[in-house]
Amino acid sequence: MSLIFFLMLVIEAATDKLCPLRASIDVLEGEYFFLCYFESMQEHFQEEVYTINWYKENAGKQQPIKETHRIVSQKNLLEFWPAELSDSGNYSVTYSSGKQNFTVQKWTLNVLERNKSSCFNKNHLTTEIKNAGTGHSLKCSDLSVNENDSIAWFKDCKNYKNETERELDFKTLAVEHSGIYTCKILIHHEGKTYYSTNTIKLVVKEDAPEATTLEIVGRNEEIQTEIGKEEVLNCTGFLGYCMQEDASLYWLINQTFPEKCTGIPEREPSICEEESKTLQLGNKVYVTRLLRIKKVTDEDMHHNFTCVFQMDENTQIKIVKLKKGKIQDMPEHIFTTAMVLAVLFPCVAVAVMFFCVMFRIELVLFYRNLCRRDDTAGDGKEYDAFVSYLKDCASPTEEEREFALKILPMVLEKHFGYKLCIFERDVCPGGAVFDDIHSFIDKSRRLIIILSQNYVSDRAIYELESGLHKALVERKTKIILIEYMPISDYSFLPESLSLLPSKRVVKWKKDNSLPVNSRFWKNLRYLMPAKPTKINTKGHYNILDLGSEGTKPWTEDCDFNAPL
């Protein structure tokens, strides 16, 4: 609805002659002023009972304006007889009915303090700039509601030719018409006379060519150079706005004329002067002449190179001197080296990044050994890892248990100093199995799960589910998955296993993984907590030989009748 009223405002602006739209609402104190909205808006409320309310913003709140003998609202006007400094602020007018309330228009009024020594305030005027020889008229703004009010014009606060029309016409402007014009409207109200003023600053520019000023461009200068270097000295003069045939520009070397350049390099003198050239930029004309020094000598450092610009009796000069520079050019071999390094540096950076990504595990293990880093100190844990594996003694795959009971502890404990918790080896029989499992997982920093197709026994599944709960929910234990044999179907495992990051899965590749320095053991140590150890990486184990290493075969400790 507000948009509709705004459009009606614009459409009907031409019909309400006595209600001007002001771009900036400034008024001088002590003058008559009014705010108004388009009276034709009232026609849209003929079928409704409505009231018109004027508001002024006070402390961020809209408060109704109370009429006085000085502030009066009538029809579509809010009049000030006259305006005072306290009237400055934000104003609005609304139409209110029993059902709806519309804000018709808003204003910001700024009441300026009057300059008591002048008929105008310099902050309350507009400026118009015009060229001489053209016609122009100054218009007195609609500052009254009565078109018959008397008008007087003033120039620089003095009455101007007894003009009384709303427009002050100039058929042909001249420079002397420049000045500050004030239009004063006299308004009679309840036996008193009020007035409003409008001030315009008129600037009339003489539309004539600028006077020609002969001048040389730039001042005396010293140029840093080196012995044997070529130098070109430039001298430029400003001719004005048209070509001056009698103007001359030339060089002198210690008050002696230099030779002219021939254009043939083999026959060129060491110092020569080129022909002058004319250059036009916009409507300005310049003349320029170059002095070429093929190879600077030590003697040239003591010369005065003088540029002379002359026309009639007007002569200007510019003196140029050469001096040895403190900064030398970069030697060629240094420049070449710098360019090569600039090209190689991105390649080296990419190679280093690639190396770090490819060998990040080796770098981390090297850093741990170098700094003797220990992540296990003071954490209250007893074991570095709890090993979960297939415990079915009747399993047809004995290699899996051989790996869990012999290969894994042989390498991690004997060669790398870790302490593992293996249930059948470290837990005394007779207790509550599931309680013991839960307790030992709590005492371990990692949970190593050896996965295979046969990983289906109740106890193993419980260990897996308990470890997943601690890793994903309690966030107390990190899980390491060892894929002992390739697994094609994971459907028999808990779905939450898929939430573990893939980088925590290490794959056993039989003979390729047997050496202690193989990728398998490096990846496994990378996932284990950092712990200072004395590492012997020369070991290479064979599953068939482990029985003689001092560890009993798992079948000697396995009680087939023991409950799982």
Q: Catalogue the active-site residues.
A: 463
Helix (H) or strand (E) holding 289: strand 284-293
Tokens 């009254």 belong to residue = 144
Please provide the DSSP assignment of 55-110 as one string: EEEETTEEEEPPP-SSEEEETTEEEESS--GGG-EEEEEEEEESS-EEEEEEEEEE
Q: In terms of Cα–Cα distance, which of 169, 202, 166, 207 is closest to 184?
A: 166
Check if the beta carbon of residue 520 is closer than 8 Å to that of residue 390.
no
CA distance 309 to 265: 28
CA distance 468 to 475: 9
Tokens of 382: 């007893």
Angle at 479 between CA 478 and CA 484, to 5 degrees: 155
Tokens 């009915």 belong to residue = 97
CA distance 374 to 533: 10
Residues 6 or more apart in contact with residue 153 via CB below 8 angstroms = 140, 159, 160, 161, 163, 164, 168, 181, 182, 183, 184
Which residues does residue 315 pair with via DSSP β-bridges, in sequence order?
310
- 3-class secondary-structure state, position 413: helix
Query: In terms of DSSP H, where are the helices of 241-377?
Result: 332-358, 360-371
Residues 6 or more apart in contact with residue 118 via CB below 8 angstroms = 157
Instruction: Find the distance separating the first CA and the last CA of the chain, reported in whole Å.
Output: 80
**Pairing state between β 26-28 and 101-112:** parallel
Angle at 175 between CA 172 and CA 177, to 5 degrees: 70
Helix (H) or strand (E) holding 437: helix 433-442
Check if the beta carbon of residue 437 is closer than 8 Å to that of residue 463.
yes
CB atoms near residue 121 (< 10 Å): 16
Dihedral, CA of residue 461, residue 462, residue 464 and residue 470, to nearest 10: 160
CA distance 108 to 22: 11
Rg, the chain, Cα only: 50
- 3-class secondary-structure state, position 26: strand
Angle at 145 between CA 144 and CA 148, to 5 degrees: 80
CA distance 462 to 473: 16
Which residues does residue 232 pair with via DSSP β-bridges, in sequence order?
292
CA distance 410 to 262: 94
Tokens 């074991």 belong to residue = 383
